Amino acid sequence: MHAATRRAIFRRLREANPTPTTELLYGSPFELLVAVMLSAHTTDRSVNAATRQLFPVANTPAAIAALGVEGVKPYIRAVGLYNTKSKNLVGLAQALLERHGGEIPCERAALEALPGVGRKTASIILNMVFGHSEVAVDTHIFRVANRTGLAPGRTPREVEDALVAGTPPEFLKDAHHWLILHGRYVCVARAPKCPSCILRDLCEYPHKTRAAARRRVGVGTAIRRSGKRVRRAARG
| Beta carbon nearer to ligand SF4, 16 or 49 | 16
CA distance 215 to 199: 27
CA distance 191 to 210: 10
Establish if 193 lies at the interface with ligand SF4 (CB under 6 A): yes
Please work out, in degrees rounded to the nearest 5, the angle formed at the alpha carbon of residue 112 by the alpha carbons of 109 and 113. 85
Residue 37: which of 22, 47, 52 has the closest Cα? 47
| Beta carbon nearer to ligand SF4, 60 or 209 | 209
Listed ranges 52-60, 85-93, 133-141, 200-208: which one lies at the site for ligand SF4 (CB under 6 A): 200-208
Residue 9: which of 198, 207, 209 has the closest Cα? 198
Establish if 208 lies at the interface with ligand SF4 (CB under 6 A): yes
Looking at 87, 138, 201, 228, which residue is catalytic? 138
Residue 228 among the catalytic residues? no
Establish if 178 lies at the interface with ligand SF4 (CB under 6 A): no
List phi, psi (to 5°) of 138: -105, -170
- Which of 147, 176, 177, 184 is in the footprint of ligand SF4 by CB under 6 A? 147
Residue 174 among the catalytic residues? no
Q: Which residues bind ligand SF4 (CB under 6 A)?
A: 147-148, 186-187, 192-194, 197, 199-200, 203, 205, 208
